[in-house]
Amino acid sequence: MTTINQPIDLSKCTVAYLKNLCKLNNIKGCTNKPKQKLLEILTQHQQCANITATSSNSTILNTNKNGAVTNNIKTVGCDENNFNYTFVDLFCGIGGFHHILSKLGCTCVMACDIDKECRNVYSTNFGIIPESDIKKIEIEAIPDFDILCAGFPCQPFSNAGKKQTFNDKRGNLFDIICEITNIKRPKFMFLENVKHILNIDNKKVIKYIMETLKQLGYILQIEMLSPHDYGIPQQRERVYIICVRCDLHNGKQIPLLYNKTTITNLTNFIEPLSRIDSKYMLCGDILNVLNAWDEMIQVFDVGEKISPTILCHEFFREYSDAEFANLPKWKQEYITKNKRIYDKYSHQWNAWYDNHKTLLCKREIYGKLEWQVGTVKENDSIFKYFIQIRQSGIRVKKEKYFPTLVAISQNAIYGKEKRYITPRECANLQSFPSTFVLHANDKHAYKQLGNCINLHNANNIIESTLTMYNTV
């Protein structure tokens, strides 16, 4: 792992770049400013807020204690400029693949993403403005390239989505990858998607993908990786499809360079509480409903099993046999299994529900508790764990590693500090360097990081492949 520190002169950056940098760092009133004024504003902001910036050659910048801009990238793996390939970055998001390949000495000739906010972040960090719509790109006009990267949209295949597979128009974007591949014939392709793509629709989707890529003339190797297997405290299984053009393939399995290891200390990925903005601290109904449930946790005996999901509203609803039979099967099962724990603690449940009923009834999900941390322990508390407010209820997860980052509004709560994890902590979990410029709007930043590849895992795939084929 290497660290490089080189001064970068912002005065050599374009006006458009400087304006975009101001936008990403939430500096207002810069739209019509001339270059000199922009430089003055950015210099002042550097000294006040430790602004981050990037140059047009993919170098990521940061400011040192004196306000001077420096590069401070930590590299996973081989030395700089070890490879010399060109690549296209499809469905590029905020540029996870770009960051890896540029660190490995490769050059991007084209990027593309439909999301305007992702394109802004990509442009700020890499000096390249991605194309907006892959369906409108003339394939013949794309410069020739050696590598195609694509974390093609996972929503059609994800558990968090409706899993419509190729019935979803986004699923058909894979066919556009194939059209580009058929014409441009890259040496390598690195494709990434959710793990469920291997099994959905009776494995028809992955069979279609594999057969299509083989017909195009590529040998495939499929790897399943998760950050938590490599020391990073986030469980995030993802499928990586390595494609090597048949005429280049050496007939050997690509060995991964980085071995699995134990989870790194969780606190290495957490920002100091003294630096956490108060906007991330729990408050209002969310804090109140968690406090309410924590009261009930204190009631349970040590060793008590409180799963499956507790549906506390159902303790106080009555159904006729016909009404009960018309409930969804899963709900019938939960109500039946919950009866034991209600009967055992009925006096406490009744008093607790009477006390908190108004709050619990504000949202249906407030009355649902998914306790996924095993039996109740001595001095247990909901605030000892990670928490997510999901459509299925209040989910409590083990503190060993963070819940999987997602692109929807289910930001993890760090129970020990009664706060949401920050976008920068999400970036840490996705292995981005601290110098990577995130979107200034938290909503966009969370979504972008939830959609992104994990850089360490993807680097393991890419560097391992290029190392084996370095003489190609």
Whether 437 is covered by a domain: the verdict is no
Q: Do residues 318 and 416 share a domain? A: yes
Give the per-residue pLDDT at 9.
54
Whether 430 is covered by a domain: the verdict is no
Q: Do residues 199 and 85 share a domain? A: yes
The CA-based angle 223-225-226, given to 5 degrees, is: 170
Last residue of a domain, one of 71, 90, 108: 71
Whether 213 is covered by a domain: the verdict is yes
Check whether 79 has a pLDDT greater than 70: no
Check whether 211 has a pLDDT greater than 70: yes
Q: Do residues 296 and 213 share a domain? A: no
Q: Do residues 215 and 290 share a domain? A: no
Q: Do residues 67 and 84 share a domain? A: no
pLDDT tens digit string along 28-55?
888 788 888 888 887 777 655 444 443 3
Whether 432 is covered by a domain: the verdict is no
Q: Do residues 21 and 122 share a domain? A: no
Q: Do residues 276 and 412 share a domain? A: yes
6: three-class secondary structure by DSSP: coil
40: three-class secondary structure by DSSP: helix
Q: Do residues 24 and 113 share a domain? A: no
Whether 435 is covered by a domain: the verdict is no
Instruction: Note the Cα 353 to chain centre separation in Å.
Output: 37
- The domain in which residue 180 lies consists of 77-261+454-468
CATH code: domain of residue 138: 3.40.50.150
Last residue of a domain, one of 45, 71, 97: 71
Q: Do residues 405 and 363 share a domain? A: yes
In the annotation, is 112 catalytic?
A: no
Lowest-confidence region among 4-18, 171-185, 232-246: 4-18
Give the per-residue pLDDT at 66.
28
79: three-class secondary structure by DSSP: coil
Give, as one character, the DSSP assignment of residue 430: T
Average pLDDT of the chain? 84
Check whether 214 has a pLDDT greater than 90: yes
Q: Do residues 213 and 285 share a domain? A: no
Which one of the listed residues 154, 243, 312, 426 is annotated catalytic?
154
Q: Do residues 226 and 150 share a domain? A: yes
CA distance 292 to 40: 51
CA distance 177 to 55: 29
CA distance 88 to 190: 11
Full DSSP string of 254-299: PPPSS--BPPPPGGGGSPPGGGS-GGGB--HHHHHHHHHHHHHHHH
Lowest-confidence region among 60-64, 295-299, 314-318, 446-450: 60-64
Is the model more confident about 12 or about 252? 252
Whether 267 is covered by a domain: the verdict is no
Q: Do residues 331 and 413 share a domain? A: yes
CA distance 11 to 40: 10
Total tally of structural domains belonging to the chain: 3
Contact partners, residue 105, CB within 8 Å, separation at least 6: 80, 81, 82, 83, 84, 85
